[in-house]
Amino acid sequence: MDWNDTAEQAGFRREVRSLIETRLPGRYREMAAHGGPGERAWEFDRKSPDPVARDAATAWHRALAERGWVAPHWPKEYGGAGLTAMEQFILNQEIARSGAPHVGGSGLAMLGPTIIMHGSEAQKQKYLPPILDGEVTWAQGYSEPGAGSDLASLQTRAVRDGDDFILNGQKIWTSGAHAADAIFALVRTDPEAPKHRGISFILIEDIHAPGITVRPLIDMGGRHYFNEVFFEDVRVPVANLVGEMNRGWYVGMTLLDFERSNIGGAVGARRSLERLLAVIRADPELRARVNASPVRHEIAQRFVETEVMYQFSLRVISIQNRGQLPNDEASMSKLYNSELSQRIAQTAMQAMGLRGNLLEGDESSAARMYIGTVPATIRGGTSEVQRGVIATRGLGLPRG
């Protein structure tokens, strides 16, 4: 098995590195040196009251747009880069290594491909250009208080009234909704149908429309990252339905984004360990204590596991590169990475001792890392769900 770049891939990698070296704003370089900008940094900077943050978001988007790399997985006919699977892998790998933020958010990664596959021509012309230009960002309205892992149990209702739907209900864990301009949602349009068959996919163009309330949810680390969203008699044009009525479950499950390899997770795990080692090496007393304790071997084991994670990523991208769609392999990658992130955080806490309990400092502090990984095995599909996928689709075992 040879994972070395071909001559063409090596040339593309140099091109990506050159762009990052010359165009990545100083704000993101500084953030990368202290734990990274975090998820959705570009989206939050785009709406920040700080002009430096807004300028950084604009400059980084412009740098990627000039190369056509804002939407690497979109077809060229819709303004994307149309990159091959390996080119997308290299681009995402180098962005992850630099600690640079991704641009576009859920609108770019999820809604755009969904509209390209299922949307009308009018919807493509209306919604894709503002997403690509960074003018509009979208939040994802899927999860509800009683519908998380069992998403098909969602209860937010959309009742047709002439040329409109009237929405009532609640979404929760809505990442970045407070910085979004719009929200796409799965809603129940036929309560009498089997739960997977009475759902529709709709676009709510203005997240600040009358009847919509976005309420912040503060996580254990004091971070405002996600929200709960309430809909009370919200009118949405029927023209905003994507795909067929009551077939929204299949629309919502569309995934054209080739970044299923989770190379960002593999690179991020290694960066976390390297930051931990830098802290240990900079403190002679801490270094001596770690060298004399079993935690030294744990750190070595975590390094081995990051390499395993990297191989998971390469396996997935090799499948995509053959024109196939990874299934249980993507679940293996997600499961391993989410649990690895928690093991790395636990090892960091042990290495730092009592100092590891301090939340003060930047995002690279052991305590913040530990708290930040708590939801890793829940969000994006719980570990139990991933194991079920691996068992049934990968191993062919019967459903329980």
Q: Domain extents for the chain? A: 7-103, 138-252, 263-394
Least confident of 78-92, 225-239, 266-280, 310-324: 310-324
Q: b/e map of 253-262 (b: 16 or more CB within 10 Å)?
A: ebeebbbbbb
Q: Which CATH superfamily is domain 138-252 in?
A: Butyryl-CoA Dehydrogenase, subunit A, domain 2 (2.40.110.10)
Catalytic residue among 43, 94, 259, 329: 259
Give the model's pLDDT for residue 6. Answer: 93
Q: Which CATH architecture has domain 7-103?
A: Orthogonal Bundle (1.10)
Q: How many CB atoms sit inside 10 A of residue 155's CB?
A: 15
Contact predicate 349/367, CB 8 Å:
yes
Is the pLDDT assigned to residue 159 strictly greater than 60?
yes
**Six-digit token string for 234:** 């919200």
232 flagged as catalytic: no
Averaged pLDDT, 356-381: 82
Give the model's pLDDT for residue 255. Answer: 59
Give the model's pLDDT for residue 359. Answer: 77
Tell me the average pLDDT of the chain.
92
Averaged pLDDT, 271-290: 94
Is the pLDDT assigned to residue 256 strictly greater than 70?
no
Give the model's pLDDT for residue 20. Answer: 97
Q: Which CATH number does the domain 263-394 belong to among 3.30.420.40, 3.40.50.300, 1.10.3720.10, 1.20.140.10?
A: 1.20.140.10
**Cα 81 from Cα 64, distance rounded (Å):** 10
Higher-scoring residue by pLDDT: 264, 171: 171
Strands, E, within 114-181: which ranges? 138-141, 157-161, 164-171
Residue 321 belongs to what H/E stretch? Answer: helix 295-321
First to last CA, the chain: 37
pLDDT for 16-49, tens place per residue? 999 999 999 999 999 998 878 888 999 999 999 9
Averaged pLDDT, 137-158: 94
Q: What is the dihedral of CA 115, 119, 124, 126, to 10 degrees?
A: -100
pLDDT for 94-138, tens place per residue? 999 999 999 999 999 999 999 999 999 999 999 999 999 999 999
242 forms bridges with which residues in the sheet?
Answer: 201
The one-letter amino acid at 57? A
